[in-house]
Chain A
Amino acid sequence: MSRRGAIRLLVVLTLAGTLAGAAVVYFGVYNVAATEQHTAPVYWLLNAALKRSVAQRAENIDVPPLDGRIENGLVLYREHCLNCHGAPGVPPNAFALGMTPLPANLAHTARTWDVRDIYWVVRYGIKMTGMPAWEFRVPDEQIWDIAAFVAALAHLTPREYEALAARVGTREGPLKPAETQAREDAVTPTPHPAEGDAGRGKKALQQYACVSCHEIPGVVGAIHPVGPPLAGMARRGFIGGVLPNTRANMVRWLRDPKAVDPDTAMPNLGVTERDAHDLAAFLETLR
């Protein structure tokens, strides 16, 4: 091919690519609904880019002494972070469950991120994720308190968190999802088909933040090993290690794990009866 021919081809390809891109945007091909998780490649790309971006910028931050910051960090955490992120055994506020991406489970973050990264994210926020920047709202020292507390979450059991929170004495916690659940059950007298809808259940995994804590095969973004993996759940003998794995028990566990096992780190996420059946129906497909 001649040189001119090559240039012409390049120009044509560039134009075609631009037009195709414009068409994707104009015709609204990509669904921005928060109920739809990203496709797997997009999720991976965004996640990798996010981690690299934070790691690059946080690398050279000097960490001040972190001892003795945890209690103050807890107070600030409950004021600013708990609504979206929850805490060990404490669910996030209901609205946060509808976000995509879901606010991360920070006990997992504490194990996989460096404290510098945590500090950087709290201070500067993350675009298009719902994570706000606190730089202009919280003094720098307090941001370090929060980062220190988040890092400590790696070794805080639900019981220990409860005790610490009681000792520190903080403001009112978030709205209890159990209340929203009761409300929803009252408003929509749900005809819960006992068989459940596995397809709907798969979507509900995102909406009840199951994906924040469990590895689930075939679900994009469910890659965080906070609790046990759910692969093979249909054949698992016990739910949460305490209930024989039957449909009725699964619904009971999903709706209020704390009532079954007060020690569990799995919070009450305000799952309605119908959604619990749908979730259970999906879990029954994981053979």
Chain B
Amino acid sequence: MSRPFLRPRCCVAPFALCLLAAGCGSASETHTAGGDAERGRELLWQFGCGTCHRIEGVVGAVGEVGPPLDGLARRVYIAGVLTNTPENLARWIRMPQDIAPKTAMPDLGVTEEQARDMAAFLYLRR
């Protein structure tokens, strides 16, 4: 049994729930894929991710070719084909073509460590 990403109380009705359920602490449970988010931000800029995706917090990331990456941490599926876990996200960033051969997302030659850093930053986009 895997732990749910968020406790329910924090998700749907933020107003009442935050008032009522004090210790529901979930923001700190963010998966960070063991990467360095700050470096991830720099890499997302260097690899040109922002030319296709809107990413809040990355300079010039206003692309509209693919889906926006804000709120990615809450999404259930990555690219519609993988369940959203930090490992899967890093894997997807590294080799999208292997996972979904028809995808428009190119293989950018990202290393394992770089992918983890990028995933760490993207997981902060709630």
Contact = CB atoms under 8 A, between A and B. Distances in A.
Given A51-B12, A111-B6, A114-B8, A261 B76 contact: no
Interface residues of B, number: 40
Contacts of B5: 111-112, 154
A107 B81 CA distance: 13
Contacts of B2: 151-152, 154-155
A85 B98 CA distance: 30
B10 to A, nearest CB: 9
A152 B121 CA distance: 26
B1 A227 contact: no
Contacts of A114: 4, 7-8
Nearest to A262: B102
A241 B8 contact: no
Interface of B: 1-2, 4-9, 11-13, 15-17, 20-21, 52, 54, 64-68, 71, 74-77, 79-83, 85, 99-100, 102-105
A247 interface: no
Nearest to B102: A242
A157 B80 CA distance: 9
Interface residues of A, number: 51
Interface string A243-260: 000000000000000001
Interface string A37-77: 00000001001100110110000000000110000000000
A236 B71 contact: no
